[in-house]
Amino acid sequence: MSHFVIQGGKRLSGTYTPSGNKNAVLPMLAAATLTDEPVVLRNVPLIKDVHTMLQILEYLGADVELRGHTVTIRAGKIRRRKLPADLCHRVRSSILFAGPLCARYSRAILSPPGGDGIGRRPLDTHFSGLRALGIDVRGDQVYRFECKKLKGADIVLDEASVTATENILMAAVIAAGRTTIYNAACEPHVQDLCLMLNKMGARIRGIGTNYLTVDGVTSMGGVSHRVCADHIEIASFIAASAVTGGDLTVSGVDAGTLTAIERGFHKLGVRWQIDRQTLHLPPAQKLRVENDHGSAVPKIEDGVWPHFPSDLMSVATVVATQAKGTVLFFEKMFESRMYFVDHLINMGARIVQCDPHRVMVMGPSRLRATRLPSPDIRAGMTMVVAALCARGQSVIGNADIIDRGYEAVEVKLRRLGADITRVADG
């Protein structure tokens, strides 16, 4: 384990290139088991969750070759159908092996997946969707997925779950007949997975909408695919630069993935321009809350795409502490995500937690340095952003949690001028 030592007050300026999308690459790694042919993924983020998924693939019998940010997977010799419990407990994405393993090998056995403690994250939508395709799901402490033959079905998801949509898709692509998925998730990472599956021979239509149609094929082929840029990481670095008054240029962006994010940041006075695939955040912006009509207090609330992402609610809250005005944050998706605000209050932020889902932020506040934890991936990055604009030296514990979602974050921040050091716990 390790921690970050951060001396706040340094402007973050310069050019930054984002990593590949964490939430896109994880299901892509599971999808590699759908074919005997090589699957080559480029722009792979070197984060802990990726390494855990690669360990699972190797345990199952796949040949994995990682060179730089490119991974080649040959899953033609899968020997096992049961995933190791310790690796399942490390990542939420371990559940994503259920669909493709059943599709190819008729069986998968998994322990309950791990992941961040941001609230209740049931698997019922996964189970009901897979059952509709003909997969028998049993077990409590260990989940057993078995099927004789997959058959397309009309599926209405109880919730627009990203991972459930991905799991069902990876089974449906080689199910006999047509599958329709209503209320499907359509986040950028889901779209990228669909594009990759279609390159492998799948027939998915409706990409980017909440209504997907999948015509099953008999087999899937190999693929070479570049993972899309991580819009959550991009927004996190925008936040860090904005609260420190920096001048930031981000290369390799997809303007379409930032549209929903832009609306929320605009309410806090953060503005940027995009020219083709390059984003520029001007320096020394005057952060000011943009009131709703009639001078009403504005609200930033999360939701399924294209609403503001839940993964950015905590980072946006820090930006609000540095903006003049009052804004209400309404986290509707996870009941424990906003508990991190206690740490911002201890730093001097003026925040009222109305209930587990809503917090009122009144800014600007001059944050003071302190010792902070990393409760989960996104809250951990939030603590880093808060420390970067605080007075004095902060210590951010559990830095390894942040490593699950951000590649070499301290290296990238130092290149932009941050005073941040990783120190091994002794």
Span 269-326, pLDDT tens digits: 999 999 999 999 999 999 999 999 999 999 999 999 999 999 999 999 999 999 999 9
**Is the bond into 18 cis (omega within 30 degrees of 0)?**
no
Q: Which domains does the chain have, with CATH numbers?
A: 2-19+229-424 (3.65.10.10), 22-226 (3.65.10.10)
Residue 122 confidence class, pLDDT cut points 50, 70, 90: confident
Confidence of residue 1 (pLDDT cuts 50, 70, 90): confident
Cis upstream peptide for 306 (omega within 30°): yes
pLDDT of residue 114: 78
Q: What confidence score (pLDDT) does residue 211 get? A: 98
Is the pLDDT at 134 greater than 70, yes or no? yes
Report pLDDT for 119.
43
* pLDDT top residue among 333 and 23: 23
Among 26-30, 278-282, 329-333, the range scoring the smallest mean pLDDT is 329-333
- pLDDT number for residue 121: 61
Predicted structure pTM score? 0.95
Q: Characterize 256-291 residue by residue with b for buried, 16 or more Cβ atoms within 10 angstroms of its Cβ, and e for exposed.
A: ebbebbbebbebbbbebeeeeeebebeeebebebee
Rounded to 5°, the CA angle 133-151-147 comes to 65
| Per-residue confidence (pLDDT) for residue 336, from 0 to 100 | 74
Across 391-401, average pLDDT = 95
> Mean per-residue pLDDT for 78-97?
94
Give the 3-state secondary structure of residue 328.
Answer: strand
- The pLDDT tens digits of the residues spanning 151-188 come to 999 999 999 999 999 999 999 999 999 999 999 999 99
pLDDT (tens digit, 9 = 90+) per residue, 348-388? 999 999 998 999 999 999 999 999 988 889 999 999 999 99
192 is catalytic: no
Q: What is the pLDDT of residue 115?
A: 59
Going by pLDDT thresholds of 50, 70 and 90, the confidence category of residue 117 is very low
Average the pLDDT over 393-409 and give the result: 96
What is the rounded (10 degree) CA torsion for 34, 35, 40, 44? 10
Between residues 140 and 334, which one has the greater pLDDT? 140
At 118, is the pLDDT very low, low, confident or very high (cuts 50, 70, 90)? Answer: very low
Active-site residue, from 116, 192, 311, 403: 116
Instruction: Work out the average pLDDT over 89-93.
Output: 92
Strand, helix or coil at 38? coil
In the chain, the percentage of residues whose pLDDT exceeds 70 is: 98
Q: What is the mean pLDDT of the chain?
A: 95
* pLDDT given at position 227: 98
Mean pLDDT, rounded, for 94-120: 84
Residue whose token pair is 């804004």: 327
Interstrand relation of 358-363 and 325-330 (parallel, antiparallel or unpaired): antiparallel
User: Does the pLDDT at position 116 exceed 90?
Assistant: no
